[in-house]
């Protein structure tokens, strides 16, 4: 009897250890993914949501969706494809659920640090202006073009884009070409 | 400027942002805490009512305990049934994700509607019980009744919001289907 109970205790302890090890490994993987892709996710959130407060909410939603989907990730695609697909899907859901904006849309990003903390402040300021103009032009694009432009700017291959958006590589090339033209027009329209 | 140089310039500008990043784990922690709190609250209510029903058996307390057990199991079971087919991960592409989003929104709306009617039913039953015998209407039970009324109002509001979300998701789904059918880049998804 005591032998049976000690065996079941050992099995229970082993089960608990395996479960806690798996959850620890998952948390480590999540932390690593966030560390590697958080900048790209933030840029994506910026392009989907112009209002600063809601942008942070979208970032939180993307992180939550990643956390929930990570246990189901079976490595059928690259980790980057997985992250971008979830982030884009969450961005789409965000647009579908979006309420009309009551806050003013920020044309320039809020800064709590000086712009010239790096060398060549004039060049930095000029680049910041170009970045804001680019972001504004990207936001003005329809969602399917916006998705392609975002993926292109994040340096993803056509195959990865096709996997993320769910279209063929040939369609990616066509849509990307049109999206680039639309972006160029939007940028020219600003200047 | 050649196209590649143009793309390189765009990429350089795009990657030049240095905004500080928010704490991305806040919502994950909130969701976990909320799930634990809901489980503890439900278990506590069911356990207290069951213990009281066993210690001081009376038709009212026994009815309350049975009602709580029934509601927990019935609503939980119905929620599982309604969510069938929406448990899939969200790492899907394009149309598949739009369809999944639509199914999820519909399932959530049904669960909210069911919860509203169960809540309303409970309020009616409690009101009849209190009308039958006013001596049971203590401050504690009055507060439970008030909480149920507030909960019903919240469910009603959430239900209306979810209906709007369903309409929006359906429209986007139809747009996506049209685009795929015509092969056009009409793109009304903005």
Of A103, A108, A146, which Cα lies nearest the Cα of A129? A108
Q: What is the mean predicted confidence (pLDDT) over B103-128?
A: 89
pLDDT over threshold 60, residue B2: no
Contacts of A172 in chain B (CB under 8 A): none
Site of tokens 């979300």: B165
What does the buried/exposed string (b/e) look like for B17-35 if buried means 16 or more CB atoms within 10 Å of the residue's CB?
Answer: bebeebebbebbeeeeeee
3-state secondary structure of B25: coil
Number of domains in chain B: 2
- What sign results for the dihedral spanned by CA atoms B102, B104, B109, B113? positive
Nearest to B25 by CA among A93, A30, A36, A91: A30
Is B163 an interface residue toward A (CB < 8 Å)? no
What pLDDT digit, counting tens, does each position of B28-65 carry?
888 889 989 988 988 898 898 889 888 887 777 788 78
pLDDT surpassing 60 at residue B161? yes
Do the domain assignments include residue B96? yes
Cα(B148)–Cα(B49) distance, integer angstroms? 16
Name the residue among A38, A138, A119, A28 with its Cα closest to residue A83.
A38
> Is 0.90 exceeded by the ipTM?
no
Q: What is the pLDDT of residues A116-149, one digit of tens each?
A: 555 567 777 887 888 889 999 999 988 888 889 9
Grade residue B154 by pLDDT with cuts at 50, 70 and 90: very high
| Mean pLDDT computed over every residue of chain B | 81
The pLDDT value recorded for residue B176 is 72
Exposure class string for B109-142: b at 16+ Cβ within 10 A, else e = bbbbbbbbebbbebeeebeebbeeeeeeeeeeee
Interchain contact, A61 vs B101, CB within 8 Å: no
The residue of chain B nearest to residue A127, with distances taken between CA atoms, is B13
Q: Same domain for B120 and B71? A: no
Which chain B residues are within 8 Å of A92, Cβ to Cβ? 97-98, 101, 172, 189
Q: Which of B54, B82, B110 is the last residue of a domain?
A: B82
pLDDT tens per residue, range B83-107: 776 666 555 666 778 788 888 888 8
SS (H, E, C) chain A: CHHHHHHHHHHHHHHHHHHHHHHHHHHHHHHHHHHHHHHHHHHHHHHHCCCHHHHHHHHHHHHHHHHHHHHHCCCCCCHHHHHHHHHHHHHHHHHHHCCCCCCCCCCCCCCCCCCCCCCCHHHHHHHHHHHHHHHHHHHHCCHHHHHHHHHHHCCCCHHHHHHHHCCCHHHHHHHHHHHHHHHHHHHHHHC
Per CB-CB distance under 8 Å, the chain A contacts of B179 are 144
Q: Please say which residue of B82, B114, B140 terminates a domain.
A: B82
* Cα–Cα distance for residue pair A82/A72, rounded to 1 Å: 11
Q: Is B12 inside a domain boundary? A: no
Ordered domains of chain A (ranges, CATH): 14-98 (1.10.1740.10), 122-191 (1.10.10.10)
- Chunked in runs of 10, what are the mean pLDDT values of chain A (191 residues)? 55 60 84 90 89 87 89 83 88 75 47 53 80 90 88 91 86 90 89 68
Q: Which domain holds residue B40?
A: 35-82
Residues B73 and B101 in one domain: no
Pair (B115, B156) in one structural domain: yes
| Residue B154 within any structural domain of the chain | yes
Tell whether B94 and B168 lie within a shared domain: yes
Grade residue B149 by pLDDT with cuts at 50, 70 and 90. Answer: very high
Q: What's the token pair of residue A149?
A: 């432009």
């Amino acid at each position: 009897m005591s032998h049976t109970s000690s065996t079941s205790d050992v099995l229970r302890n082993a089960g608990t250890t395996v479960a806690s090890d798996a959850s620890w490994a998952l948390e480590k993987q999540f932390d690593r993914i966030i560390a590697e892709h958080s900048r790209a996710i933030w840029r994506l959130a910026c392009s989907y949501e112009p209002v600063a407060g809601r942008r942070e909410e979208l970032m939180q939603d993307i992180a939550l969706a990643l956390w929930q989907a990570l246990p189901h990730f079976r490595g059928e695609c690259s980790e980057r494809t997985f992250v971008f697909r979830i982030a884009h899907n969450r961005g789409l859901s965000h647009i579908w659920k979006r309420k009309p904006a009551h806050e003013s849309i920020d044309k320039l990003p809020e800064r709590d640090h000086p712009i010239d903390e790096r060398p060549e402040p004039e060049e930095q300021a000029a680049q910041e202006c170009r970045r804001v103009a680019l972001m504004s032009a990207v936001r003005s694009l329809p969602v399917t073009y916006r998705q392609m432009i975002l993926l292109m700017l994040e340096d993803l291959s056509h195959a990865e884009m096709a996997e993320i958006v769910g279209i063929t590589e040939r369609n990616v090339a066509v849509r990307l070409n049109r999206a680039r033209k639309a972006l160029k027009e939007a940028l020219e329209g600003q200047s | 400027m050649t196209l590649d140089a143009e793309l390189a310039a765009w990429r350089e500008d795009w990657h030049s942002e240095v905004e500080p990043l928010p704490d991305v784990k806040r919502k994950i922690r909130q969701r976990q805490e909320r799930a634990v709190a809901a489980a503890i609250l439900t278990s506590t209510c069911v356990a207290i009512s069951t213990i009281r029903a066993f210690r001081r058996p009376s038709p009212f307390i026994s009815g309350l305990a049975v009602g709580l057990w029934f509601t927990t199991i019935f609503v939980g079971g119905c929620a599982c049934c309604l969510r069938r087919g929406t448990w899939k991960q969200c790492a899907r592409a394009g149309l598949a994700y739009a369809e999944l989003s639509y199914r999820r929104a519909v399932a959530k709306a049904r669960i909210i509607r069911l919860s509203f009617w169960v809540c309303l039913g409970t309020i009616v039953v409690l009101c009849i019980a209190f009308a039958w015998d006013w001596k049971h209407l203590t401050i504690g039970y009055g507060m439970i009744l008030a909480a149920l009324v507030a909960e019903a109002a919240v469910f009603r509001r959430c239900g209306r919001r979810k209906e709007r979300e369903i309409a929006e998701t359906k429209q986007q789904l139809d747009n996506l289907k049209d685009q795929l059918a015509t092969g056009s880049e009409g793109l009304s998804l903005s």
